[in-house]
Structure 1
Amino acid sequence: MTTPARPPSPATARTVRWWRHFEVPTLVLAMLLYAAWAALVHGHAHVPGVLLFAMGGCLGQLHSSLQHEAIHALRNIPKPLRWALVWPPLNLWLPYQLYHRSHSSHHVNFHLTHPERDTESVYHSAAAWNCYGPLRRAIVAANQTLAFRVTVGPWLRLFKMAWSEAGRLAAGDFSHAAIWLVHAASVAPIVWYVTRVGGMGLGEYLLYFVYPSMMLGALRSFTEHRWGDAPHERVAIVESNAMFGLLYLYNNLHHVHHRSPTMPWYEIPGHFRRNRAAVLEANGNFYYRGYVEIARRYLWRPVFRPVHPQW
């Protein structure tokens, strides 16, 4: 006869509630990330270049994933503390406040993939496409291949942001000025630590940390959205290994995230395993068996035509 399992003690139950309430795994991960980043910058001279490129990129991407997590989850932590946890701009280029605003707009599911309303869409409207010259069309088309998106895409993203912000200033709109001033003040201590304490040139940091981080971000987002009649058919599932899962905080299981944005990252893979059939049915089987499959299919071939079929 099987002995029934004992219920957890009150002390254990309180610990579990506290652990879940404050999403302790995320807080621990953030502390480990900052410690690893500081150690790698400080000891970079003893790390081979290829390994430094890989490790620096992974830490930068993991920090971006934590910033994404703070937008959606950690809801039981006051907003100022939640923002402070991920505020340090390790990747230097994007103010967290702008990212927060832009990404929150992206989560209006009805607008997903819209060339103008979805802030993360890589589609272009037919009207805009007809106005492009041959060079711009060639660049946009090339950006639909994984090889181009990962290597040149980060530079295009920086150019697009700089062009947008410059246009805003030229039009007399200074609404982002305070954000950029605060961002500059936040970047200063990062640059000080990198150059003065770590003894690393700023160019080296951009090459070994910032650029590979942006490359990994471009890999994750390459084909996580496509046009579909139903909004949830526009969101992919990329079932990758544990390394990429942790690196992206399981945002590669993107459809799960869009259906339950506040679900903590460490609960996403279990939810997907338990509801796999229902998830893949809901997103029209928009599915890849890892990033190797994506590279095999789209390294040199376009993932889809850049002109949006609807707008």
Structure 2
Amino acid sequence: MTDIPAGDARLERGAEAFRAARRALAVEWPTLTLVAGTYAGWLALTYFHAALPVLVVAPLGALLITLHSSLQHEMLHGHPTRSRRLNRALATVPLSLWLPFESYRITHLLDHRDERLTDPLDDPESRYWTDEDWARLGPIGRFLVAAQQTLLGRLVFGPAWSIGCYWAGEARAVWRNEGPARRIWRAHVLHLVPVLFWLVFVAKMDLVFYVLAIVYPGTSILLIRSFAEHRAESSVVERTAIVEKSHLLGPLFLFNNLHAVHHAWPTLPWYEIPSLYRDHRARFVAENGGLVYHSYLDVARRFLLTPHDAPTHPLGRAPLPEGRGPDQG
């Protein structure tokens, strides 16, 4: 996969200049400062939650969960230091409780095999289904999947569905000792211990409240970003969307709303994405076939109650490049 859209000499020169500058930087201070602020904010909010109104604790907690997840995404792409071990250590604190960072890291990097984007068998983050799997779903399952093709359904049912399906798959993998599943979950349990100790014994927060009022809505906010992020199209470069003018959610998502830029240049730090997009907007929009939304309000206007797409993949499985198997991305 190329780091930048090919053929733009100015963009290529800018990319090389950025790579040279990044090699000289031991630490990306904006990201590290944000990581420290997020953990400090989470500690303060949970510790003082009893002295604050629920209508303050719940939304602020959900926003912190969202921001932390956005930072985890940033850190799995090699930020904010040149030390992979330190980046992983900063990212592995499981504030959302349910998702091991290492599992997320592996599946998300598979999602960056752009030629497999949206493929229901090869893209682990695809929301599409094969005709065969769709037929095997019962009526309740088909209803829940179809409901999540609307933004409202994704926000209401999406977290429970995503977490439930993920845990079911992981339980099978752990039981069968498939791949690194047991190693990942042993590490995750160890990482959970200090988080749960803090919540239960230090902050004295009700875990049911934490899960339902903070983790669940925080996951829902994240699903706003991913809802219209990819769309099945015959051309690979037209499968990744751009959401412009997102002045509130854009920073919360660390500008991953400009998703075509991230797929074109996944190593670019979050604070450099808006300027790169502004400088080369015409090229990015032309290359993704005009899959651009004015804002997340525009996404909601179009898809709050209207399906974004059909649940089954409209093109069938995308053909594999010659000589390449699905596990060779």
Check whether TM > 0.5: yes
Aligned to 1:13: none
Q: How does 1:183-222 map to 2 (within 5 A)?
A: 183-222=188-227
Q: Is the 8 A contact 1:56 1:212 kept in 2?
A: no
Is it true that 1:82 corresponds to 2:87 in the alignment? yes
2:35 alignment partner, one of 14, 30, 36: 30
Find the aligned partners of 2:50 and 2:151 in 1 and give their Cα distance: 31
CA drift of 1:301 comes to: 1.2
Paired letter, 1:219: I
CA drift of 1:17 comes to: 7.4
Is it true that 1:286 corresponds to 2:285 in the alignment? no
Find the aligned partners of 2:168 and 2:40 in 1 and give their Cα distance: 35
Structure with higher Rg: it is 1
Find the aligned partners of 1:262 and 1:169 in 2 and give their Cα distance: 32
Find the aligned partners of 2:178 and 2:78 in 1 and give their Cα distance: 32
Q: Is the 8 A contact 1:240 1:252 kept in 2?
A: no
SS at match of 2:248: helix
Is it true that 1:181 corresponds to 2:211 in the alignment? no
Aligned to 1:159: 164
Residues 132-162 of structure 1 deviation map (CA, whole Å, 9 limit, x = unaligned) = 3322222211110111111111000111012
Aligned to 2:237: 232
Q: Is the 8 A contact 1:89 1:186 kept in 2?
A: yes
Aligned to 1:69: 74
Find the aligned partners of 1:142 and 1:234 in 2 and give their Cα distance: 22
Find the aligned partners of 1:207 and 1:129 in 2 and give their Cα distance: 29
Find the aligned partners of 2:26 and 2:250 in 1 and give their Cα distance: 23
Q: How does 1:292-307 map to 2 (within 5 A)?
A: 292-307=297-312
Q: Which stretch of the first structure deviates more once superposed, 234-243 or 282-291?
A: 234-243
Paired letter, 2:210: Y
Paired letter, 1:122: R
CA drift of 1:179 comes to: 1.1
1:277 alignment partner, one of 270, 278, 282: 282
Paired letter, 2:31: T
Q: Is the 8 A contact 1:89 1:95 kept in 2?
A: yes
Residues 2-39 of structure 1 deviation map (CA, whole Å, 9 limit, x = unaligned) = xxxxxxxxxxxxxx979955211101110111111111
Cα distance change on mapping 1:75 and 1:85 into 2, 3 Å: closer
Aligned to 2:272: 267
Q: How does 1:234-249 map to 2 (within 5 A)?
A: 234-249=239-254
CA drift of 1:228 comes to: 1.3
Aligned to 1:40: 45
Q: Unaligned stretches of 5+ in structure 1? A: 1-15
SS at match of 1:144: coil
SS at match of 1:242: coil
1:135 alignment partner, one of 136, 140, 152: 140
SS at match of 1:152: helix
Q: Is the 8 A contact 1:57 1:212 kept in 2?
A: yes
> How does the TM-score come out when normalised to structure 2?
0.86
1:60 alignment partner, one of 60, 65, 68: 65
Aligned to 1:119: 124
Aligned to 2:326: none
Q: Is the 8 A contact 1:232 1:282 kept in 2?
A: yes
Find the aligned partners of 1:175 and 1:19 in 2 and give their Cα distance: 34
CA drift of 1:256 comes to: 0.3
Aligned to 1:96: 101
> How does the TM-score come out when normalised to structure 1?
0.91
Paired letter, 2:281: R
Q: Which stretch of the first structure deviates more once superposed, 172-181 or 251-260?
A: 172-181
SS at match of 1:151: helix
Residues 227-259 of structure 1 deviation map (CA, whole Å, 9 limit, x = unaligned) = 112211000001143321221000010000000
Q: Is the 8 A contact 2:32 2:80 kept in 1?
A: no
Paired letter, 1:236: A
Runs of 4+ more than 3 Å apart? 16-21, 169-175
SS at match of 1:123: coil
CA drift of 1:116 comes to: 0.9
